[in-house]
Amino acid sequence: MEHGHVTASAHTDPSDLVAEEARIKKANPNYIGVFVILGILTAIEIGLTTLFENTIGRVPILLALTVAKALLVVLYYMHLKFDSKLYAGFFGIGVFVFALPYVLSMVALLAPIQLVPVREAMPGAHGGEAAARPTRNPNAGPPLALNMEAGDYFFKPDAFDSNSGQIVRLTINNSGSVEHNFTLSGVTKDKSAEPWKDPNIAAEVVAHALAGSTGKGNFTAPAPGEYVFFCSIPGHAELGMHGTVVIK
Give the whole-angstrom CA distance, residue 110 versus residue 56.
7
Is 222's pLDDT higher than 80? yes
Is 80's pLDDT higher than 60? no
Confidence of residue 228 (pLDDT cuts 50, 70, 90): very high
Q: What is the CA radius of gyration of the chain?
A: 29
Give the whole-angstrom CA distance, residue 88 versus residue 72.
12
Residue range(s) occupied by CATH 2.60.40.420 in the chain: 119-247
One-letter amino acid at 61 equals: I
Residues 36-44: what's their mean pLDDT? 86
What would the pLDDT profile of 87-146 be if each residue is shown by its tens digit? 666 676 766 776 677 667 666 665 555 544 444 444 444 444 444 455 556 667 788 999
61 vs 194, residue with greater confidence: 194
Confidence of residue 73 (pLDDT cuts 50, 70, 90): confident
pTM of the predicted model, to two decimals? Answer: 0.47
Is 36's pLDDT higher than 80? yes
List 167's β-bridge partners, or say none.
Answer: 220
CATH architecture for residues 119-247 = Sandwich (2.60)
φ and ψ at residue 166, rounded to 5 degrees: -80, 140
Give the whole-angstrom CA distance, residue 140 versus residue 159.
19
